[in-house]
Structure 1
Amino acid sequence: MIDSPKHPALLALVAVVAAGGAQAAETMDHEAMGHGQMNHGSMDHNQMNHGQTDHGSMDHSQMNHGGMEHGQKAQPAGYGSRTPIPVPSDADRAAAFPELPPHTMHAGGINSFFLLDQLEYQDADNASVLSWDASGWVGSDINRLWFRSEGERANGRTEEAEVQALYGRAISPWWDLVAGVRQDFKPGSPQTWAAFGVQGMALYGFEAEATAFLGENGQSALRLEGDYDILLTNKLILQPTAEVNLHGRNDHERGVGSGLANTEVGLRLRYEIVREFAPYIGVTWNRNYGNTADFASEEGEDNNEARFVAGIRIWF
């Protein structure tokens, strides 16, 4: 300690330093703070004032981070609500779907169709047979003139031949009523019949014909025919066919008896080289019944016969 009275200025400086040190000690006694013994786990950060910001008292749910609330996903730039699409009005529907003019097939013109369904060689027991079955029409969608022809030749002679000319009128998209005449050339002497019936397409593409005939001297007959195309491929088609003939009276000259006269069932497999032309092979079974069978036996003919067939089918 300097206590010499000879140095008054030095004494004054010491007094000032001593006073400052005492004030600093009063302000913060680091020894008393005990930094080495501080318990950070007991520090209450909620009570700490970091630059006058009380984080413990902050309400984050009220904070607006750039206009985005908590729980709301950030949207891409330029995103926003669009103007809702208005409900279509009757005028809008009328403009989008205008009424179409009535549909008319072929525009009311005259058209035609011809089908040579069967032109075939048949290997019969007693002879080689050339058989045909053709049909066609000319006219409009509603009114048509139909013709049909079928028959067969054996050993260079015509055994059976007939031609029908019919007026047909459509009664539905799939069915026609027909009426007209049928002319038989063989067997026996020529004979004329009145014909009327119905023809068309039943369910699943089954084509059917039912025709009744009224002939000379009170003769009557009924013919039922049907066929169906089974597509094995786009070009290979299997066609089963069936025909049933019934007669009202015996006609010995033409070899037919009353009741169920005969039936024919066939199965033909054709290959369409083009849609309009198709060769085929197949087999048919022919059978006579009742008096018709008796008349055939008198002539030495078979009443139950299977035939191999090969031919062509053409349409245009």
Structure 2
Amino acid sequence: MRLVQALAGIALSVAMPAAAQDHSMHGQHGGHDTPAATQDHSMHGQHGGHDMPAAPVPAAEAKAPPVPTDHYADRFFPIAEMGRARHAMMKEMGGRSFYQVMFNLAEYQARKGSDGYRWDGEAWFGGDIDRLTLKTEGEATARDGVDSAEVQALYSRAIGPYFNIQAGIRHDIQPGPARTYATVGVEGLAPYWLEVEGALFLSDKGDLLARVEGYYDQRITERLMLQPRVELNLAAQDVPANRIGAGLSNAELGLRLRYEIAREFAPYVGVSYERKLGHTARFARAAGDDVSETGLVLGVRFWF
């Protein structure tokens, strides 16, 4: 009897969960209080009733949250020390001063009967916005020495992500007599990666000159670069003392192929053509000089 009672108890315990499951399933699918019915009633209330929620406010019309004026770390650390730490961080992340010295041209020019050399470089010191810039350029011949040499001291200020406006002074050491000019100009990176520069020069004698130049670095390989370059010099009037004529006084075209042994050091070879024009050519002929010169160049471009 005890065995029969035990078997009956086991059978009853197995049957009861199954019955409960069937009843639960019946309640889900066949009753009147099913979740599906409730969901249909809710959806009907959203789309067909009169109690629809208001439309959300567009993001463009929402008020911006207030700008935080405190620093959370100040609650746990001395305010003065945290202020010094934040100042040091801002300086390291964009407020530091930098410098660079670069000579785009430092070359020997082999020309028929008048070999010479030429340089064109600049150095700057400052930050992302304000800088002090020094420039120098000139040329000389092995026979006559320095033909022209100038230095410029300029204040440079960024007027956008790609251009700087510059103002300062320029002093011509050669040709004599020496001249000093007030200078204003702009330089930067134009579309298509063109490096451009333009400047006006007003001398202490009232002479107005202008210069426009530009170059483009065409990468052939990872280290081989081809650089076409052009420079134009203009004058508003004749300056006989310096043998400069009004209008476009001279133009120079160059093509240089350089190999970057390192980014900071790249020897190059190329060709340079220079032509004096207008009254400047007349002054050159009167002095017995050539009005045009073509030369092979060998030099190095470097920066640090």
**Is TM-score (shorter-chain normalized) higher than 0.5?**
yes
Which 4+ runs in 1 deviate beyond 2 A? 101-107
Distance across 1 between alignment mates of 2:282 and 2:128: 45
- Aligned mates of 1:106, 1:113 — CA distance in 2: 19
Displacement of 1:126: 3.1
Bigger Rg over Cα: 1
Of residues 241, 249, 254, the one that matches 1:266 is 254
1:149 and 2:136 matched: yes
Residue 202 of structure 2 corresponds to residue 214 of structure 1: yes
- Cα distance in structure 1, aligned partners of 2:275 and 2:146: 20
Cα gap change, 1:303/1:141 in structure 2, threshold over 3 Å: closer, same or farther? same
Deviation of residue 124 (structure 1)? 2.0
Name which of 293, 296, 299 aligns with 2:287. 299
CA contact (8 A) 1:105 1:141 kept: no
Which runs of structure 2 are paired with 1:34-183 in the superposition (5 Å)? 107-155=94-142, 157-183=145-171
Change (3 A) 1:104 1:209: farther
Instruction: Tell me the CA shift for residue 283 of structure 1.
Output: 0.4
Q: 2:221 is matched with which residue?
A: 233
User: Whole-Å Cα distance in 2 between the matches of residues 106 and 296 of structure 1?
Assistant: 54
Determine helix, strand or coil for the equivalent of 2:237. Answer: coil
SS at match of 1:310: strand
C-alpha separation in 2, matches of 1:174 and 1:165: 21
Contact 2:94–2:128, Cα closer than 8 Å, also in 1:
no
Q: Which amino acid aligns with 1:107?
A: G
Aligned partner of 1:61 in structure 2 is none
Q: What's the offset of the Cα at 1:305?
A: 1.9
User: Percent identity over the alignment?
Assistant: 43
Q: Distance in 2 between matches of 1:183 and 1:195?
A: 10
CA distance in 2, matches of 1:183, 1:126: 30
Shift of 1:106: 5.3
| Structure 2, gaps ≥5 residues long | 1-85
Separation in structure 1 between the aligned mates of residue 275 and residue 253 of structure 2, nearest angstrom: 9
Are the structure 2 counterparts of residues 130 and 250 from structure 1 closer, same or farther at C-alpha, using a change threshold of 3 Å? same
1:151 partner letter: G
Structure 2 letter corresponding to 1:313: R
Contact kept in structure 1, 2:171 and 2:180, CA below 8 Å: yes
* C-alpha distance in structure 2 between counterparts of 1:123 and 1:167, whole Å: 36
Cα distance in 2 for partners of 1:135, 1:111 equals: 14
1:107, CA displacement in angstroms?
2.7
Say whether the 8 Å CA contact 1:247–1:258 is kept in structure 2.
yes
1:21 corresponding residue in structure 2: none
1:155: Cα distance to partner?
1.9
Which secondary structure state, in structure 2, belongs to the residue aligned with residue 292 of structure 1? helix
Aligned residues: 216
Report the secondary structure of 1:294's partner residue: helix
Structure 1 regions of 5+ residues with no counterpart?
1-100
Distance 2:98 2:162 in 1: 17
TM-score (norm 1): 0.66
Given candidates 248, 251, 254, the residue that maps to 2:236 is 248
RMSD over aligned Cα, in angstroms?
1.7
Cα displacement (A) at 1:104: 8.0
